[in-house]
A and B are shown apart, each in its own frame.
Chain A
Amino acid sequence: MNDLFNALLPQFFLGLVNGSIYALLSVGLTVIFGLLRIVNFVHGAQFMVGAFLSYLLLVYFGIGFWWSLVIAPLVVGLASAAIERTMISRLYNIDHMYGLLFTLGLTLVLEGLFRYWFGSAGRAYVVPESLSGVVNLGFMYFPRYRLFVVVASVVLCLGTWLLIERTRAGSYLRAAHENPQLLRTFGINVSLLLTATYAFGAALAAVAGTLAAPIYQVGPFMGTHIMVVVFAIVVIGGMGSVKGTIAASFLLGIAETVTKIAFPQAASMAVFVIMAALLVLRPEGLFGRQESTR
């Protein structure tokens, strides 16, 4: 019994770390979907570009982790705002499929460019010195950097949730989700709100990329691999529900790594089995609200 516990505990914490990255990605994805009604397939590439920017800043300019944590999201956010303004905004009034195809296409372009420039091999990003080493949690030792990732993710996700639920800017977002046309008649620039939301979601992906750089290998396809799971999480959490996606991210991160011990062959399948089961039992997701069509 004690052996099993000792075997599961590290997996549990590993799951928390993966869940932290999933959460940052899925929150951005769900906020973008909730407001823009765009399935942002390029989210994984924005994550990858965030990680690459941090890597390049370090290797070519000697700019360290903490600055990268600010610069990478800023650059990705601004570039994404420009893309939303010039391209994605033209897709709102036509079939959702075009948004999906466009962002998928953009992903292929970005991944192709990064592979062309840097090759497809993964590159290592060294853990920043101030966060290296391990922490004694009392019952186990845990890498200090990974603990930082969990705390940072929880703070950012809760911050996003509070921003949406408790602030005036958040009330604009919720109103725009319900009826954007009417919101314009109250003097609110809804187009700008959509651009800002898209930039914010993309910036969160870049934060996740920077945080993930020292844990995973930095490579052109790191986004694609992780997004397959993140899309499943967003479906499980309930499309558009921030609370649901945060909870689902951590739950599934843990479910995935714990399955690695209990039933290793099924580990990479676990998330999708849960998604399939949930779609049958509760199609609106864990916390999703059934939406009336408008």
Chain B
Amino acid sequence: MRNPPALDVENLHAWYGESHVLHGLSLTVGEGETVALIGRNGVGKSTLMRSIVGILPTRKGSIRVWGADAIATKPHRIAQLGLGYVPEERGIYASLTVYENLVLPLVLSDRGMSTDEIFELFPNLKERRASLGGQLSGGEQQMLAIARILYAGARLMLLDEPTEGLAPVIVQKIGEVIQILKKKGISILIAEQNLHFAGRIADRFYLINEGRVTAALDRDEFLASRERVEVSVGV
């Protein structure tokens, strides 16, 4: 039997209170694949990620992380399977130091990167290791948020708009980091509005609108239909 994909979402519905945000969304992320979610603000990209990690409680349908039922399992158990999440707001703890933020996740295997390796990859963070998380710039917070799930040894990463609001030089750095992650065989689901950036890093693309997948494109299709994509998602 084939190994289950890193992530398999089927017919997912999700709600914020009364508000029904995801309407039967289905997608997969294969082992080692980088998959981009393309769509305007408010179409459900962040909601999908929050549903997968279990921050959003009201979910119906199926979410499987390496075959494990992520709806029936407690969020910390799903994380322990090797699921790492970088929220849109980055989720850096303001009252913890950079170092404390970095080593916050539980490390369950030898897959996690050591702090030395991480500081080699992000020299800025080493300099600022004793600063409080709240004092970091947006770019540094994003680096730390990614570094933190590398420390945890995540094999499947959910990155919610990692380039949003960042300077081009930092966007480039994040692109380089993602290339390194791809080489390590880490599976990535990334929500991205920057089509140029998404086109450089992703293997497959899902266009999302009103809580559903409206198109699934491979790399060639995506590059060939850039204009159509731009029009359909309005970004």
Q: Which residues in B have their C-beta under 8 angstroms from that of A163? A: none
Q: Interface extent on B, as a size class?
A: 20 to 34
The count of chain A contact residues (Cβ–Cβ below 8 Å) is 18
Query: What residues of A have a CB within 8 angstroms of the CB of B74 in the complex?
Result: 184, 189
Smallest CB separation, A142 vs chain B (Å): 39
CA distance A181 to B51 in the complex (A): 12
Distance in angstroms from B109 CB to nearest chain A CB is 11
Which residues in B have their C-beta under 8 angstroms from that of A187? 76, 79-80, 105-106, 108, 152
Give the residues in chain A near B96, CB-CB below 8 Å.
171, 174-175, 178
C-alpha gap A171/B55 in the complex (Å): 21
A173 to B: closest C-beta gap in Å: 10
Contacts of A172 in B (CB 8 A): 104
Shortest C-beta distance, A32 to chain B (Å), equals 18
- Of all chain A residues, the one with the shortest Cβ separation from B158 is A185
Query: Which residues of the other chain, A, contact B75 by a CB distance below 8 angstroms?
Result: 184-185
Task: Check B54 against A185 for contact (C-beta < 8 Å).
Answer: yes
Q: From DSSP, what is the main secondary structure of chain B's interface residues?
A: loop
In-complex Cβ contact of B87 among A174, A177, A182, A189 (8 A): A182
Q: Are A185 and B53 also in contact (CB < 8 A) when A171-B100, A175-B104, A190-B76 are?
A: yes
State A172–B108 Cα separation when bound (angstroms): 17
Task: Decide if A136 is an interface residue (CB 8 Å cutoff).
Answer: no
B217 on interface, CB distance cutoff 8 Å: no
Min CB gap A163→B, angstroms: 14
The smallest C-beta distance from B210 to any residue of chain A, in angstroms, reads 25
Within 8 A of B (CB), among A171-217: 171-172, 174-175, 177-179, 181-190
Cβ B104 vs Cβ A185 within 8 A: no
List the B residue with the shortest CB-CB distance to A192. B76
Q: Determine if A168 is an interface residue (Cβ-Cβ < 8 Å).
A: yes
**B149 to chain A: closest CB distance in Å?**
8
Most buried by B among A168, A174, A182, A188: A182
Contacts of B91 in A (CB 8 A): 179, 182
Most chain-A CB neighbours within 10 Å: which of B76, B79, B83?
B76
- Chain B residues in 8 Å Cβ range of A168: 103
B-side residues, CB < 8 A to A, are 53-55, 74-76, 79-80, 83-85, 87, 91, 93-96, 100, 103-106, 108, 148, 152
Q: Which A residues fall within an 8 A CB radius of B? A: 168, 171-172, 174-175, 177-179, 181-190
